Structures are given as structure tokens and as C-alpha cells.
Amino acid sequence: MPGENHHKRSIVFFLIPDFTMMAFSAALEPLRTANRMAGHEAYTWRLASSDGAPVRASNGVEVAVGSSLAAERQKMVGHERPSMVIVCGGLNIEDYNNKTVFAWLREEYNRGVAIGGLCTAAYVLAGAGLLTDRRCAIHWENLPGFAERYPRANVFADLFETEANIYTCAGGTAAMDMMLKLIGEDFDESLINRVCEQLLTDRVRSPSDRQRLPLRARLGVQNSKVLTIIELMEANLAEPLSLVQIAENVGLSRRQIERLFRQEMGRSPARYYLEIRLDRARHLLIQSSLPVVEVAVACGFVSASHFSKCYRELYARSPQQERADRKQLLVA
């Protein structure tokens, strides 16, 4: 039975600059707690970076590591080879392109080592070619840009995903849920419950639990018809539905929908639909290198000029300026 032996996993946490401390801590602490509750060292870990130097997290805290990429490559063929490598991602990862890291991850995976990714690390795993035709999870804010860049990855706004010895999670506290599931593969439910009690969490959330607050809580809207319409809009951004189509879907007249949106959202349904399409466009401009015209098409605009006009009206800057400002921020 799981938990009756002294099963041991060794894990390498590979830190990418600007990694998120929350996800890293939420992944590491369940392992420490599991060791304490089990009464033996079931899990060991070490931290690594590309050059063995400390890595600064997105909150500005520098974390010392004990290993480098070169050292990890040497350990692949010895008794120190890990059972799992977890890449810790965070901000400014969209253009990460370390081919040596990609090759190392592929080689580890081909040798039977499980590969994990926290927060935005799905970008690194996809860059290494490990997510083609596989399910993965990423933070909801990064999902549009990731999906456009890696269309062959089956990405979901789930808390975490596991497939074919690859583990990905959306970051934040979802890292804890993913690691609790991993621990659950080695131990029985009683130990998991004790770990949860120590971490002051009442349950292990399932992969398909929401990343974001439900629309009702997020928008402060109570009318079920309005919420249904917004869900329809969010599901049809590339090819926007007409108000007639929306009306047919929800069983209301156009006039009723107009009145409801004025009451609940303070603007027309057409205006609200435009704003959520532009919000997605903004994420794509920041997170991807797609040409502006392709961003426009992906967000349901028939021309780049109309897209630019609408974008400038809402954000007081052009799409080109948005992208240029983002690049300047990264350089700084």
C-alpha cells in the first residue's frame, strides 16, 4: 500500500529569472511537510540555475542555488539523477530561448525523469518540444498568448494538468494542489489529510477547479441572463457573435439585452463585447510576437486600422506603442 515503504523522490527545482516566489514556495512546502508527517525523508530536493548563480524572483528576493545546468547534465548518468525536474517560471518568460536548457529537459524526460512546470513555465516546456499534443495548464492571464504561440499544445485554464509524466500548473496556490496530488501517488489519504491540516488547507482541489473567481463574484453581477451572455462573449472572441445570435441563444429580445446591460454593466452589450476583445488583444500584444494584424484577426477585427482605432480609444495608445512600451520595460 502507498505509504508503507520508504519511497523516495528526488526533485530539482530549476529557477528561471523573475520566477514567482508564491508558486515556488507552494510547491516546496508540501514536500517538507510530507517528510515531517511521514517520519522519514521521502522527498529530497535541490535548487539549480543555468549558471549556478543566485536567481532573483519577481518579488526581488534573491535565492541561492546549489547546482548549475552543467552540473545537472553530469548527474544525469549517476545515482544523483533526479526523479523529477520542476521548472519555476514567472514574469517575462515569453521569449525565453535557452536551447541548452531545452536540450537538457528533453534528455531528462527521455531518461524517464518527470518534468514539471510552475506558473508560466509551460512556455519553457513547450519551447523544449515537450507539450506537443499534450494537455497543460498555465495562468489564465498568459493563456491567450501561449495558445497563439503554441497551437499544438492542448492548453487549459485548469489549476494543473498531468499527462505522460509531465506536470504543469497555473502557479500561485495551484502549485500546492499539484504537489499534493504527486504526494498522493506515493502515500495514502491519511498522510495527505495530515499535510493539508498542517498547511491549513481543507482539501486538494481538482485539476478542473476554477483559476479565476466565478463571473458572478468577479463582476459583481447577479443576473443569470447577463452572466450567460458574458460567458458566450468570452467564448467567441475571434469570431464575435451578433446581438441577434446572442438573443437567440439566451431567449431574450435585443431590446431586453440592451436594457439589462445598461442596468447591470453600465454600457451597451456591444461596448462590453468590444472591451473584452480589446483586453484579449492587449494580452496578446504583451505576451506574444504576433504581428498586429494577426492580433486583430485573433480578436475578431476585420482590419488592422479599425483595431488600432478602437484600441487607441480605449487605452489612449496604439497597439504598436503598447508593444514598444513593453519591450522598453523588459530592457530596463
Q: What is the pLDDT of residues 271-314, one digit of tens each?
A: 999 999 999 899 888 877 789 999 999 999 999 999 999 999 99
**Cα–Cα distance, 280 to 263 (Å, whole number):** 25
* pLDDT of 193 over the 60 cut: yes
285 and 228 both lie in a single domain: yes
Q: Is residue 266 in a domain?
A: yes
Task: Establish if 140 belongs to a structural domain.
Answer: yes
CATH of the domain at 171: 3.40.50.880
Q: In this predicted model, what pLDDT tens digit does every residue of 222-243 receive, in sequence order? A: 788 998 999 899 889 989 999 9
List of long-range contacts for 314-317, beta carbons under 8 Å, 24+ apart: 314/274, 314/275, 314/278, 315/278, 315/282
Residue with C-alpha cell 511521514?
38
Total domain count for the chain?
A: 2
Give the residue, 147 or 328, on which the prediction is more confident.
147
Binning pLDDT at 50, 70 and 90, where does residue 3 land? very low
φ/ψ (deg, to 5) at 158: -90, 165
Give dist(CA 2, CA 245) in Å, integer. 53
Domain boundary among 198, 228, 256: 198
Same domain membership, residue 89 and residue 31: yes
Does one domain contain both 174 and 233? Answer: no
Q: Would you state the pLDDT for residue 4?
A: 45
Task: Indicate if 277 and 182 belong to the same structural domain.
Answer: no
- From 324, 268, 274, 264, select the one nearest 296 (Cα to Cα): 274
192 and 290 part of one domain? no
Q: Domain for residue 208, yes or no?
A: no
Residues 168 and 262 in one domain: no
Same domain flag for 104 and 191: yes
pLDDT score of 182 more than 70: yes
Asked whether residue 330 carries a pLDDT value surpassing 60, the answer given is: no
CATH code of the domain covering residue 279: 1.10.10.60
What distance lies between CA 146 and its chain's CA centroid? 9
Residues 29 and 116 in one domain: yes
In which element (H, E) is residue 139 found? none
Res 77: pLDDT:
86
- Asked if 171 and 20 touch (Cβ cutoff 8 Å), the reply is yes
Query: pTM for the full model?
Result: 0.76
Shared domain for 79 and 155, answered yes or no, is: yes
In a domain, residue 209? The reply is no
**H helical segments located in the chain:** 21-38, 69-75, 99-110, 122-127, 143-149, 174-184, 189-198, 215-219, 224-235, 243-250, 254-264, 269-287, 292-298, 304-315, 319-331
Q: 215: pLDDT confidence band, cut at 50, 70 and 90?
A: low
Q: Is 128 in contact with 105 (CB distance < 8 Å)?
A: yes
Q: d(Cα 139, Cα 174) in Å, to the nearest integer?
A: 10
In the listed set 198, 233, 248, which residue is the last one of a domain according to the structure?
Answer: 198
Among the listed ranges 12-16, 122-126, 299-303, 327-331, which one has the minimum average pLDDT value?
A: 327-331
The cell for 140 is 489564465
Same domain for 19 and 156: yes
Q: Residue 146: which domain range?
A: 9-198
42-56, 206-220, 312-326: the lowest-pLDDT one: 206-220
State the chain's mean pLDDT as an integer: 90
Q: Cell numbers for 262, please give them.
A: 445598461
> Do 110 and 160 fall into the same domain?
yes
Query: Is residue 203 a part of any domain in this protein?
Result: no
Instruction: Say if 210 falls within a structural domain.
Output: no
Q: Is residue 232 part of a domain?
A: yes
Residues 192 and 220 in one domain: no
Q: How far is the C-alpha of 198 from the C-alpha of 34, rounded, in Å?
A: 10
Residue 2 has pLDDT above 50, yes or no: no
Question: Cα–Cα–Cα angle for 230, 137, 185, nearest 5°?
Answer: 130
317's CB contacts (< 8 A; 6+ apart) are 311, 325
Residue 185 included in any domain: yes
Residue that finishes a domain, picked among 140, 168, 198: 198
